[in-house]
Amino acid sequence: MKLYLAPLQGYTEIEFRRAWSQFFSGIDVAVSPFIPLAKSFRFRSKHLQDVIPNQNTRIPVIPQVLGIDPEKFIFLATRLEDLGHQTLNWNLGCPKKTVARKKRGSGLLPYPEQLRNILDELIPKLPIKLSIKTRLGFNSPDEFFKLIEVYNDFPLDSLIIHPRIGTQMYDGEMHLKALDQTIGQIKHKIVFSGDISDYKTYESLKTRYPQIDDWMLGRGVLTNPFLPKWIRAGKIENNEGQIRQTLYHLHEELFCEIRDKIKRERPILNKMKDFWSYFARWFKNDEAIFSTLARMDNIDDFMEYLKKVFNEHPLSQAEGRTNRQIKLNK
């Protein structure tokens, strides 16, 4: 079994991966948040920094690319090969309108013939292996039947499946029935990505899909950083004192990483608020905590308030904890 850390743009960049892996374990490999193919042939240093292998030693990273221009794709793949990467992941899942409108991300899924043409051009020239992260379709999960025919015709390292469609964004029921009907036809190694928010959910998916050995965890790692370790160990831990302390270490270390990277107070505060829209789930009164944090406009007050939260507030039950971001009604 392999456990992957999902790409979550804005969250699972190198700062989080470094901080998390200092205190937690269980993840074998991460897929980076996407690197967009630039208008010109270039590789921005911020993207390079995120995937450079000697900075990603505790959790090896597979770079992910978003775009459909084969020449730029190959340019980027060649640069990544020079850095020592052996695999590149192609994002065919991003649901954002601005992305999908240009047939990028999940916006390419309704066009299987165009997908085939791109792979025809790409695969023979690609210097490293390709894996694909896909949804079941953009408008309907029925699109997956045709997509599988295309995927099956090419040598892929693996197929990472997030069983939603593009129009759902990240919410709503996953289309597991549609996956049940199609999974037997897929020739590639499958990695499952979607809504593994607690140990029970993982167990039930494992029972449903005995042919899947590799699992990708995203928001579930933000809302329960212990989850990969528990899945690997096959059991949940209940040592409340230690759990509380380790979560606090993660929060502090992540703050240091973010402060060192961003340097300006306001953006540091905003980035910490983004993380806490998931981290607040660690506590029983998650929404009240996050609503207080969201109103703060000073990073020292923010950190001070959280010290109090860690000292005084009860932790929520890890099992059954949602992996959804807290969104406040403004």
Ligand X SMILES: Cc1cc2nc3c(=O)[nH]c(=O)nc-3n(C[C@H](O)[C@H](O)[C@H](O)COP(=O)(O)O)c2cc1C
Of 137, 166, 218, 228, the residue at the interface with ligand X (CB under 6 A) is 218
63 in contact with ligand X (CB under 6 A): no
Give which of 109, 100, 98 is closest to 134, Cα–Cα: 109
33 in contact with ligand X (CB under 6 A): yes
Binding to ligand X, residues 112-151 (CB under 6 A): 133
Helix (H) or strand (E) holding 252: helix 240-262
Give the CB-nearest residue to ligand X: 218
What 3-state DSSP class applies to 165?
strand
34 in contact with ligand X (CB under 6 A): yes
Contact at 8 Å (CB) between 267 and 15? no
Span from 121-129, 192-200, 231-239, 297-305 in contact with ligand X (CB under 6 A)? 192-200
DSSP letter string, 21-53: HHH-----EEEPPPEEPPSSS---HHHHHHH-G
Of 159, 165, 196, 247, the residue at the interface with ligand X (CB under 6 A) is 196
Q: Whose Cβ is closer to ligand X: residue 104's or residue 313's? A: 104
Minimum Å gap between C-beta 308 and ligand X is: 28
17 in contact with ligand X (CB under 6 A): no
Q: How many Å apart are CA 40 and CA 35, to the nearest integer?
A: 13
Of 194, 250, 258, 276, the residue at the interface with ligand X (CB under 6 A) is 194
8 in contact with ligand X (CB under 6 A): yes
Span from 36-44, 216-224, 247-255, 260-268 in contact with ligand X (CB under 6 A)? 216-224
- What angle do the packed helices 265-279 and 240-262 form, to 10 degrees? 150
DSSP letter string, 107-164: GGTT-HHHHHHHHHHHHHH-SSEEEEEEEEESS-TTHHHHHHHHHHTS--S-EEEEEE
Q: How many Å apart are CA 235 and CA 93, to the nearest integer?
A: 31
Span from 39-47, 90-98, 184-192, 223-231 in contact with ligand X (CB under 6 A)? 90-98
Span from 119-127, 201-209, 218-226, 295-303 in contact with ligand X (CB under 6 A)? 218-226
Span from 22-30, 44-52, 215-223, 313-321 in contact with ligand X (CB under 6 A)? 215-223
Of 47, 188, 219, 321, the residue at the interface with ligand X (CB under 6 A) is 219
